[in-house]
Structure 1
Amino acid sequence: MAKNSAAVLYGPYDLRIEEWPMPEINDNEVLIEISCVGICGSDLKLYSTGECGTVSIAGDPIVVGHEGAGTVVQVGSSVTNLRVGDRVAIEPTQPCRGCEYCKRGRYNLCAEPRYCSTRECHGNITKYYKHVADFCHKIPDNVSMEEGAAVQPLAIAIHACRRAGVTLGARVLVQGAGPVGVLCALTARAMGAAKIMITDVVQSRLDTAREMVADYTLLTSKMADEDVVGAVVDALGDNPDITIDACGFGDAQRVALMVTKTGGTVMIVGIGARSVELPLTAAMLREVDVRGAYRLLNSYPIALAALESGAIDLKKFITHHYPMEQAKEAFEYAKSGDAMKIIIHMK
């Protein structure tokens, strides 16, 4: 009988590879032999601090990881959409389906979402993992398993860009050249954005963003807010129609409200501090919309279709690979900020 093992986080920096119980599936679930899992920024916050947003391990060890892809090895008796042998990308939520948000079709806001890598639901840096079948999506034949794992952050970017209303000809500013920021820029380009600028405080990330997608980049370290606004407007030729905050820092959010075009949209994607001081009154007087994008919503099929068609290419986005046994080393390297997307392989 096959044995299972997992990457279990006990507290800040305390990540251990250990034996883990083999999952037993229900009628509506599938058992997946995990091939690979990406490291997300929220995983890194959990690893570094023991909490991320409203999630806290608080003495309860959890299996980390929620960017998984693998092969179905067992199906429940009521599953009709998948068969043994199917390669799947795992949408990392199992919503209740009964709350008012689920009934409205906004399952990302579910009151009891059972999202992977939280206290309610373990993550998938594990050799075997079970999940509800209808939140497992078949990976197209021309898409690799690694790209299938990277669909999760791409789906987040797609949800953010759709909520932001990116359209043909839009000028878009993305704050933060990390994985989600770059994916938001790639998505905005695929949706028709005419000019894209990315800002960050790390030059190496900006260099990668420029190589992959950005028309303009700006290193904002040691710059005053007003100087950042001026530099962005000069580069884009006008104020951005849409600003996407993909870093979650208060200074970036202040600049977003200042620089976005009158009547434009600020989209908050990055998870930052619980409270931030912002110039809301000035933004309100210019009818700048401030919206949030939480996790993802109905964007996995779109992301997979974009990869299958070539509308979005993630090959350069995936930069580093580690075996499961070196998961702690992978997390430590992710902290450096030098990697765009790290993939952990189960075998």
Structure 2
Amino acid sequence: MGRGKSHGDEEENMAAWLIGINTLKIQPFKLPALGPYDARIRMKAVGICGSDVHFLKTLRLAHFEVKEPMVIGHECAGIIEEVGSEVKHLVSNDRVALEPSISCSRCHICKEGRYNLCPDMKFFATPPVHGSLANQIVHPADLCFKLPDNMSLEEGAMCEPLSVGVHACYRGNIGPETNVLIMGAGPIGLVSMMVARAFGAPKIVLVDIDDYRLSIAKDLGANEIVKITPYMQDVDEKVELIKKAMGARIDVTLDCAGFNKTISTALGATSSGGKVCLIGLGHNEMTVPLTSAAAREVDVIGVFRYKNTWPLCIELIKSGKVDVKPLITHRFGFSQEEVEEAFETSACGSHAIKVMFNM
């Protein structure tokens, strides 16, 4: 018997199901039995990620394809309702942020500590695994991280995108002697900027095509911002603009978009011996000038999700070194109408940075 109140039949668990292109429906979601190492959590804050929108619009992302109805959502925090008999670190009513990735813990990649690359990963709302935009879910308790009293549940949900920024900065080895260029001022670009600053980066330049997002980047601490317009086809022109804005070596570039144009510009702008971290996955295939970059020993580094980042994310927010609250621009409740409106708002981009459900 788990510790906490029992889950009776008086309340049917509901979730937002992706059932077709541009079609979300709030429908019943039957939870699995609570295992000894599991927790049952009442969701309170769930953010919308670009991948959620991509699945809604196309039913696919990279090599993942939605072939049957799937519960959406993976940026989340909530309140513990019940825990399994072997769970010692959590009790009912604890407020927690959830890491959405369940690795196998048995393969050689997991045993080497790079569990984010596990070939058998079960990740919220990545088909065929159900997500967390629901009244309640069941999740391994060791992937539920208790929130301090001075952190809101919304901030807890923001630990997921913040984790991408933390992992990217780890992969780029960003520190007090690293000047950082960030391509893309969307949610991931902005959290990456915040983490790079917290890690001590002395100068950070943000590049985007959207004036509003660039203004947010400037408000949140970018040293310089560079607007690239669609008619600027020449990579060298963009590179010169960026180098002028940085006014120093560009040691690490974080490409948070992942398009031909952004990675080509990143490779051209990054100083010899520097690193380009590819975070965004805008294109499945890209044609980029690798030869000239290789001749300057510019390393191209893949960044995929994160590993062991939640404790640091919680500490960064708790300590005030990172403030994710300004990124939450829109809030919605959990009704059929609001779910549809929230996803449409998020899909429009620009003024919608992070759209959050308050459950």
- Report the TM-score, using the length of structure 2 for normalisation: 0.94
Aligned to 2:354: 341
Aligned to 2:3: none
- 1:125 aligns to 2:137 (yes or no): no
Decide whether the 8 Å contact of 1:23 with 1:128 is kept in 2.
no
Letter in 1 for 2:241: A
Decide whether the 8 Å contact of 1:93 with 1:114 is kept in 2.
yes
C-alpha distance in structure 1 between counterparts of 2:288 and 2:28, whole Å: 47
Decide whether the 8 Å contact of 1:267 with 1:293 is kept in 2.
yes
C-alpha distance in structure 1 between counterparts of 2:85 and 2:207, whole Å: 50
Instruction: Provide Cα deviations, 1:292-341, integer angstroms capped at 9, x if missing partner.
Output: 11001111110001111111111111111001111111010111112111
C-alpha distance in structure 2 between counterparts of 1:142 and 1:2, whole Å: 31
Aligned to 1:247: 257
C-alpha distance in structure 1 between counterparts of 2:31 and 2:104, whole Å: 24
C-alpha distance in structure 2 between counterparts of 1:96 and 1:151, whole Å: 22
Instruction: Provide Cα deviations, 1:153-194, integer angstroms capped at 9, x if missing partner.
Output: 001110001110111032111000000000000100111111
Q: Find 1:291's aligned residue among 301, 311, 314.
A: 301
Give me the CA root mean square deviation. Answer: 1.0
C-alpha distance in structure 2 between counterparts of 1:344 and 1:53, whole Å: 26
Q: Find 2:274's aligned residue among 264, 273, 289.
A: 264
Give the 5 Å matches for 1:171-320.
171-221=179-229, 222-223=231-232, 224-320=234-330
Give the 5 Å matches for 1:111-122.
111-122=119-130
Letter in 1 for 2:181: L
Letter in 1 for 2:353: M
Decide whether the 8 Å contact of 2:164 with 2:306 is kept in 1.
yes
Instruction: Provide Cα deviations, 1:20-66, integer angstroms capped at 9, x if missing partner.
Output: 214421111100000010001111111111111222103x1100000
Aligned to 1:50: 59
Aligned to 1:109: 117
How far off its partner does 1:119 sit? 2.1
- 1:86 aligns to 2:94 (yes or no): yes
How far off its partner does 1:242 sit? 0.6
Aligned to 1:25: 34
- 1:165 aligns to 2:173 (yes or no): yes
Q: Find 2:77's aligned residue among 52, 69, 75.
A: 69
Decide whether the 8 Å contact of 1:169 with 1:195 is kept in 2.
no
Letter in 2 for 1:213: G
C-alpha distance in structure 1 between counterparts of 2:38 and 2:54, whole Å: 29
Letter in 1 for 2:348: S
Letter in 1 for 2:358: H
Give the number of equivalent residue pairs. 345
C-alpha distance in structure 1 between counterparts of 2:242 and 2:33, whole Å: 53
C-alpha distance in structure 2 between counterparts of 1:63 and 1:319, whole Å: 24
Decide whether the 8 Å contact of 2:38 with 2:141 is kept in 1.
yes
Aligned to 2:7: none
Letter in 1 for 2:342: A
- Report the TM-score, using the length of structure 1 for normalisation: 0.97
**Which secondary structure does the structure 1 equivalent of 2:43 belong to?**
strand
Aligned to 1:137: 145
Decide whether the 8 Å contact of 1:34 with 1:129 is kept in 2.
yes
How far off its partner does 1:14 sit? 0.7
Aligned to 2:161: 153
**Which secondary structure does the structure 2 equivalent of 1:186 belong to?**
helix
**Which secondary structure does the structure 1 equivalent of 2:341 belong to?**
helix
**Which secondary structure does the structure 1 equivalent of 2:163 belong to?**
helix
C-alpha distance in structure 2 between counterparts of 1:225 and 1:231, whole Å: 10
Letter in 2 for 1:311: K
